[in-house]
A = this chain, B = another copy of it.
Amino acid sequence: MTQVAYLDAHYTGSMRTGKMWAAAATFNTFDQDTVLDREAFRQHPVLVVKSGAIGLQHMLGDGRQTISVIYFEDEVIDFRYLGRVSGKLVCILPVTACLYKGDDFDAMKHDNPQFEASQSAGAARQQYYAAQHSVDLARKSAIEKLASFILECRKRQNLGRALTVSLRLRRTDIADYMGLRVETLSRAFSKLKKMQLIDADETDEIFIRNEPALRQLANGRTIGNRTCWK
């Protein structure tokens, strides 16, 4: 199942800001469901997601499965510091990624204060998403979780106030991430539609019909107009 395809070509990546990165990166593509075995990343242990999504997947002893962290575009996985993490990294969408040698990546940070600051901010953002995700998992109902997830997707795709959000992930992956069974997640989708908070068809596009109410629900507040609930 492990599949790691190095390309020979070297590629000088560019940040979204348009700044060129100082060091040469190896540019790679991985099929959906590829497991990123950390041994294969010994030479290039820093991975920056350029498109797609990578999940940190965990299997409990009896087969219950969860995805604890999702890495989207421009997020960084540093295999050097993953030593004790028990899960495995899986491409939950087809992925393109830049890989860097550890020394190159450290030197880029050291030599470029702006890049260093963007990396610190990125790491802090990851911590923020992790904290928010814990709040979602700890005490929220299925529909509250789904409302949160839709808003998280919008934020992490930098869609601003857009009302159309592509969830992109497979339903099983969303369920694993939100700590729900797939059937429970399906019922939550139906319920949000019935409540007229969202429209969703068979594709992964979600149209937000009532943003204030969706946000209220995501934040665990009772929704004012209860008639929309039935």
A124-B81, A124-B82, A131-B56 are contacts. A138–B219 as well, Cβ < 8 Å?
no
Chain A at the B interface: SS class: helix
- Does the CB pair A139–B66 fall under 8 Å? yes
Q: B61–A127 contact, CB under 8 A? A: no
Chain A residues packing against B (C-beta within 8 Å):
56, 58, 60-62, 64-66, 68-69, 78, 80-82, 84-87, 106, 110, 113, 116, 120-121, 123-128, 130-135, 137-140, 176, 178-179, 216, 219-222
Query: Are A131 and B130 in contact, with the CB atoms below 8 A?
Result: yes
Residues of B within 8 A of A125 (CB): 81, 84
Contact A139 B85 (CB under 8 A): no
24 contacts between A and B (CB under 8 A): A60-B219, A60-B220, A61-B216, A65-B139, A68-B134, A68-B135, A68-B138, A69-B134, A78-B124, A81-B121, A81-B124, A81-B125, A82-B124, A84-B128, A87-B135, A106-B116, A110-B110, A110-B113, A130-B131, A133-B134, A134-B134, A137-B137, A137-B179, A138-B178
Within the complex, the shortest CB–CB distance from A189 to chain B, in Å, comes to 19
Q: How many copies does the complex hold?
A: 2
The distance from the CB of A66 to the nearest CB of chain B, in whole angstroms, is: 4
For the complex, what is the distance from the CA of A113 to the CA of B111, rounded to whole Å?
A: 12
In the complex, the answer to whether B61 meets A220 with C-beta atoms within 8 Å is yes
